[in-house]
Amino acid sequence: MHNTHALEALREDVVRRNPAEPEFHQAVTEVLDTLAPVIARHPEYAEAKLLERICEPERQIIFRVPWVDDQGTVQINRAFRVEYNSALGPYKGGLRFHPSVNLGVVKFLGFEQIFKNALSGLPIGGGKGGADFDPKGRSDNEIMRFCQSFMTELYRHIGEYTDVPAGDIGVGAREVGYLFGQYKRITNRYESGVLTGKGLGWGGARVRKEATGYGAVYFAEEMLATQGRSLEGQQVVVSGSGNVAIYAMEKVHQLGGRVVACSDSSGYVYDPAGIDLELLRQIKEVERGRIGLYAERKRSGTDFVDGGSIWSVPCQVALPCATQNELDESAARQLVQSGVLAVVEGANMPCTPEAVRNFREAGVLFGPGKAANAGGVATSALEMQQNASRDSWSFEYSEQRLRDIMIDIHRSCDETAREYGQPGDYVLGANVTGFCRVADAMLAFGVI
């Protein structure tokens, strides 16, 4: 019988066999903590050693990326692709270019991705990749040379039926363009379905860039509706100012909420009148500048707080959309004290375990990333669908598909939580729903 003791033994084994990978240990622990009742109900999962297998990636690729900067100096980066689980479809997950990228971070993201992709209800497995390359301050030519060198190795491991990467932190439309160009050049194939997040003119999908942010806000709206509330008139704080954060803010404004603060790694801006998205987009997407410029240009009533915690700004709805472990226990306590109703993860694992515990004990609605931010990868799967049928859908139809998927994910998590006697526990709901979908497919395939 695979009881709590056996789950703890497995967790200890994962920690022992994967040393110095704290984010990966955290992600595995968070899932294992909720699975005891499932294993009790399905002893066949334990007999087939499904948990042990799901914690071990199917394939891990680590490679060197040499490139030449604008000064003619040779630079060397380390890159990764963890092809984690393909029980439900080809590996699918983003590429992250950031100095913090290491094997443990990529494995944590890939592990989360397995369950997130399963929750989307679409035929995609879980994977993740990236490099410890810092795109900040690099010219377009340097980014191009790096992407071309990166793809020269990666191309042999990917394909529309094998592994389909996308963007993540540091990898947007510009980078995907360079990556796709090099893949096409090397393989002599116009294989649109090999990368998602492409430009609209060359195989991209409408609503893809908006999808993660929009989806998280749809999820928040569904959660609030269970308590007879909505986003209308709520004060909202969104951390980050990248792709996810910008489109989360846009959808909050469309649904009648007011975003009063956002951030980047240099600090945060507070604008009680509501963040001006056009100005923010100009600074972040066109000029690629720091968030402090927002306060300089907007002036009236706007504050820039250098290096402060954005979670000290009171709000009813908090959307952490920056990076992992950005919202800790003291931030969670501040939010609870200021009367937060819902916390929805737009980023991957932005709340520490202690923060999550604080929210759950205080009765705050908490939407874990693997459910709340699944809209991005779901729309990537829709992009693959359009590529496979050589088709392109309208914005309205694409957005309706996204909204339906988010409503469905919320319903699945909600029903599973009730079924297991924990109504309102979206962490349990998301983990159990995603795990069972992957586990059933793995059982069907035998020991592979």
- Identical topology for domains 58-190 and 209-372: yes
Q: Which pLDDT score, from 0 to 100, does residue 309 have? A: 96
Q: Which pLDDT score, from 0 to 100, does residue 1 have? A: 46
User: Cα(219)–Cα(230) distance, rounded to whole angstroms?
Assistant: 11
286: which DSSP letter? I
| Residue listed under structure tokens 């009148």 | 273
| Residue listed under structure tokens 């994977």 | 127
| Residue among 168, 181, 202, 199 at smallest CA distance from 80 | 168
User: Cα(231)–Cα(210) distance, rounded to whole angstroms?
Assistant: 18
Q: Which ranges of 159-266 would DSSP assign to H, the alpha helix?
A: 173-187, 208-225, 243-254
Q: Which pLDDT score, from 0 to 100, does residue 300 have? A: 85
Q: Do 318 and 296 meet the contact criterion of CB atoms below 8 Å apart? A: no
* Secondary structure class of 415 (helix, strand, coil): helix
**What architecture does CATH give domain 209-372?**
3-Layer(aba) Sandwich (3.40)
Catalytic residues: 128
What one-letter code names the amino acid at 273?
A
pTM of the model: 0.95
CATH of domain 58-190: 3.40.50.10860
Q: In which residue ranges of the chain is pLDDT below 50?
A: 1-2
Output phi, psi for 424, to 5 deg: 85, -5
Break the chain into its structural domains and give their ranges.
58-190, 209-372
